[in-house]
Structure 1
């Protein structure tokens, strides 16, 4: 599924997809992002669907992830979050969302190539 240009996934991908290139230089980042991606999947995918979806029981739908991103970024706005130089909970979560976007091809390969 390719989300529309107005999708919140497009904005998150534009801002945080480049952080995926940091995986090469920071092995600990891979583990942290993986944990955040798993948490997002757990929040999005009902238990009964997990058992039958692939890969690994975690098929993420673009519309579900878009709704999650809207709620998450709204909360960041409410608390006046400012992106730090390094990695905090929010940047790790947003980077994990980008990983999910890329792995599930939610915006199409051309839009997510890094």
Structure 2
């Protein structure tokens, strides 16, 4: 599989992973990102039985991230100092990338 489909994921992870440091002092941000993670899972992969969610499909998440960023560009969105819906959504994408190690090489 080509690396090209995962460029949007790498860009989001690079840009929004540093936001994880804010989790230590922004409980509202943590809660909001958690809700976005749950919503992304539901929206992109449907409900999953059990308590542990499986890893998302990297191509689906990459396509979503690219489309979301394109929409933000179209409306002229600028990243705020704090956080808004878009920051929470992109941080949630970044969290899924990190949590499921989607950018690490497949050991198989």
Q: How many residues align?
A: 104
2:67 aligned residue (58, 65, 71): 71
* Correspondence for 1:87: 83
Q: 5 Å matches for 1:1-114?
A: 4=3, 7-47=7-47, 50-51=48-49, 56-108=52-104
Deviations 1:20-64 (A, max 9, x none): 1111111221111000111111111034xx237xx6234311111
Report which stretch shifted further, 24-33 or 66-75: 24-33
Q: Distance in 1 between matches of 2:18 and 2:100?
A: 17
TM-score by structure 2 length?
Answer: 0.85
Contact 1:17 1:98 in 2 (8 A): yes
Q: Distance in 2 between matches of 1:18 and 1:33?
A: 14
Question: Residues 34 and 84 (structure 1 numbering): CA distance in 2 closer, same or farther, change over 3 Å?
Answer: same
* Cα distance, 1:3 vs structure 2: 7.7
Question: Residues 69 and 3 (structure 1 numbering): CA distance in 2 closer, same or farther, change over 3 Å?
Answer: farther
Q: Distance in 2 between matches of 1:51 and 1:100?
A: 18
TM-score by structure 1 length?
Answer: 0.81
Q: Distance in 2 between matches of 1:69 and 1:17?
A: 14
* Correspondence for 1:112: none
RMSD: 2.2
Question: Residues 107 and 3 (structure 1 numbering): CA distance in 2 closer, same or farther, change over 3 Å?
Answer: farther
Give the 3-state SS of the residue equivalent to 1:82 in structure 2.
coil
